[in-house]
Structure 1
C-alpha cells in the first residue's frame, strides 16, 4: 500500500436542519479520497440537506452530496483528473471518460443542478464554474451565498485562517 501525500485545500461539510445552516470543517484526508469524503458525509445524519464542498489544492472544487441509493457529484474541472486522485475518482464514479494528456480546455463533469433545490439552478452553477479568474474557494463562497449559507461559510473560513 502506498502512502499518499497529503493534499492541500479546504473541506467543508454543509448541513441544513430545521431551516438553519451549519458549516463544519472536514478532515483534510477527504481531499485525497472521494470514498473518505462520502463516508464522512453519510455519517452526518440529518433530515435536511447534507453535502460537502472540497477546494482541492486551490486548483478545482468538488461538490459531494449523498442521496438515497448513491451520491451526486460535481467536479469543476475534469482535467484535474490527470493530476489528482480525488478528481479521477469522481470521473470513475460518474463513468466519464478521463481527459487526454493534451487537453487544456476546462470543463465541469457531473450534476450541475445538484443544488437546485437549495436555490442554485444549473445555469447559475455553470456561470460560477466558468469564472476561471476566481480561485475555487471564491467559487465555493459564491455557491454558499446563492444557497443562503454565505455567512456561515465565511465565518468558518475566517476561523480556519486564524
Structure 2
C-alpha cells in the first residue's frame, strides 16, 4: 500500500454526537507515549477518544485513555528493541520486551495488548486480531483497517495523505 517507508503520524479520533472528529497530533506524540497520552487526554471529550500511531509505516499502536489508565494494542513487540515509544507501551502493559534472539527467531507479527479495546465501538477482538496478526499489512494499513472498522478510514487517509486501497 504505502511506498513511503518513513510514514509516521499520530492522530486522535474523538466521537461526539455520532460523528468522528480527527486531528493530527504534534510530532512529539510520535516519540513519547506520555506525550501521546497527554495529547489524547487534553481533548477532554465527552465521548470516546482513540489514538492511532504509525511509526515508519512499520508498526502501529492503537490506544484509548480510560479512567485510571490507558488501554493499548501494539502491533509488534519487537519494535521495542529500536523505539522508545514501543518500549514504553510494553512497560505500560507490564510486558517484557522480547530479546534480540527472540525477535530474530520470529518472522511473524508479535502484537501485544488489549485486542478488545475497541469492542464497544464496533471493532471486535476477533477483527483486531485478524488485522494485527496479518503479516502482509504495514503499520499504516493496520491503522487504516482499524479506522475502517470504526467508520472513519476515508477521513484518516485524507488527513495523513494516504491512499485508501481496500
Q: Shift of the alpha carbon at 1:71?
A: 0.6
Q: Deviations over 1:23-67 (max 9, x none)?
A: 110011111100000001000011111021000111110112110
| Total equivalences in the alignment | 153
2:142 aligned with 1:139: yes
* Structure showing greater relative contact order (alpha-carbon pairs closer than 8 Å, 6 or more residues apart): 2
CA distance in 1, matches of 2:50, 2:98: 26
SS at match of 1:58: coil
Backbone CA RMSD of aligned residues: 1.5
Q: For the residues of structure 2 that align with 1:155 and 1:83, how far apart are their CA atoms?
A: 29
Unaligned runs of 5+ in 2: 1-5
Which runs of no fewer than 5 residues in structure 1 stay unpaired?
Answer: 1-6
- Work out whether 1:11 is the aligned partner of 2:10: yes
Where do 4+ consecutive residues of structure 1 move more than 3 Å?
A: none
TM-score of the pair, normalised by structure 2: 0.87
> Secondary structure at the residue paired with 1:103?
helix
Q: Match of 1:102, SS?
A: helix
Give the Cα separation in 2 of the matches to 1:140 and 1:133. Answer: 13
